[in-house]
Amino acid sequence: MEGVLNVDVCVVGGGVTGLSTAYHLKKLDQHASVALLESEVVGFGASGRNAGQLIVAFGESDFKAQMRRHGAAKLREAYTYIHEGISTIEDLINEHDIACDYEQTGYFEMGLRADGSETLDEYLAFCRGIGQDSFLEPISEAQVARSFQSPYFGKAVFDRRGGQFNPLKYLRELKFVVQRFGVQVHENSPVVCIEREPSCISLRTGRGTLRCQKLVVATNAYSHLLPGLEDLGMIRSQSPVFVYANVTEPLSESQWGALNWPRRAGVNLMSKLFYSFAPTRDGRLLYVGGYYARVPQGNEMSLDISKDFLTEGPRHLASFFPALSDLRTVQSWGGPISTTRDFIPHVGLLADDRIGYANGCWGHGMPLGTSNGRTLAGLMLNRRTTDSASWLVTRKKIDWPSRMIVSPVVRSLSSAMRRDIRKIGRKMQPRLVFEK
């Protein structure tokens, strides 16, 4: 942006949370003046780089621990919140004719034979306890063996909600939607200074100044870099972790036939050895390996490629699906997810209650970010809504310790995770080897 601009609400961040916030602000009050600042281009961060699966997932993978800490009522509310995010995305796609390759396929939560069936059984019991089991279909190991030609897969759960889309296409189309609603979108406008005064909040970019009455920080994994909010705890709210994806060349019909992949739905391993696999609209296979996640040093935020995953990923893909042993991986990329200390997303108001924020979109952030945008819009306009009264908003947030020690702590947790993954790999038949 250039010059001086005055608006009612400024949104910083052009990912799914920021765009959803801008959209819902105008839906709630068409007369509110809204501007969105993005340091790069819309979809530049993790929102545009993710694997494009819309799934219902929340918090840590230890479901018994979730139930002990939060209880069934709060967890039912949280999982409904995520599901509503998927429904909102589907409504936006239909209402505004957004071309983003969306297919309502559902998805598989897949167990590993090497892990046994305990995790899947715990997941089903957990979903029954919070009233989510009506969406689920258990799939026996024998059924999985007939449906997927993989030596590693065990039992599965099919969730009919959600599906797959191209997230970058979706965000770029949503940008045009919010602009038609009257939102001023300013790309290539990094915020270099935030000044909070009694009469307004001023945000300075390299070429101009924006003054607003309310501010939404929708920068997720980049939030610790935003200047001027240090005294409000933004530095310790979250910590970034980079996750990587590979995509193959298009599969031939004979290759798809050899896989016998039902419903062309995404597959997510419910295991410490996390992998996800998603067929794309143009017939490729997009896959993500959790082992290769990396914690940045200090404020380094340009870890866009993982040499290890680019090298080892194709070999692992061939191990999971022997029929694809000759399939080439043709592209790799990464993006930063945002982790909170308790793995629960942060959404709400800062101590300066003119400022709303959301952090903690990690691995399943598109539905979450969409619902967070609706919540933040209501908070900024002082609307009393079900969202604003949610425990996710009102709870006491648990922050990381100082930035000096948070990166080493997260790296230590990441190293422990990789050790566990290598142990599982050694139990798999044939063994799945991680070189580093």
pLDDT value of position 228: 94
CA atoms within 13 A on the CB side of 321: 25
CA distance 345 to 370: 13
What pLDDT score does 87 carry? 97
Percent helix, strand and coil across the chain, each to the nearest 5: 40, 25, 35
Q: Is the pLDDT of residue 343 over 90?
A: no
Answer whether residue 32 shows pLDDT above 80: yes
Does residue 332 surpass a pLDDT of 80? yes
Beta carbons within 8 Å of 395's beta carbon, 6+ residues apart: 344
Task: Single out the residue of 309, 303, 307, 308 nearest to residue 407, CA to CA.
Answer: 303
Dist. CA 10–CA 370, nearest whole Å: 17
pLDDT of 302 reads: 87
pLDDT digits (tens, 9 = 90+) for 35-61: 999 999 999 999 999 999 999 999 888
What is the SS3 assignment for 309?
helix
Which tops the pLDDT comparison, 344 or 409?
A: 344
Residues 127-164: b if buried by 16+ CB within 10 A, e if exposed: beebebbebbeebeeeebeebbbbebbbbbbbbebbbb
With a CB cutoff of 8 Å and minimum separation 6, the contacts of 177 are 23, 92, 96, 98
Q: pTM here?
A: 0.96
Q: 174: which strand partners?
A: none
Q: Which of 337, 338, 318 is nearest to 328 (CA)?
A: 318
Write down the pLDDT at residue 413: 83
- Written as one string, the DSSP assignment of 265-292 is -EEEE-SSS-EEEEE-TTS-EEEEEGGG
Closest CA to 87 of 56, 46, 42, 123: 56
Residue 76: CB atoms within 10 Å = 15
Range name among 147-156, 169-178, 294-303 with the lowest pLDDT average? 294-303
What pLDDT shows up at residue 110? 97
pLDDT tens readout for residues 391-431: 999 999 989 887 777 778 788 888 889 999 999 999 999 99
Q: Which residue is it, tokens 């042993």?
A: 325
Residues contacting 305, CB < 8 A, separation 6+: 244, 332, 333, 334
* Cβ count within 10 A of residue 350: 18
**According to the model, what pLDDT value does residue 319 have?**
97
CA distance 165 to 411: 31
Percent of the chain with pLDDT over 90: 85
**CA 25 – CA 34 distance, rounded (Å):** 8
Tokens encoding 131: 């009233």
434 pLDDT higher than 80: yes
| CA dist., res. 61 & res. 66, Å (int) | 8
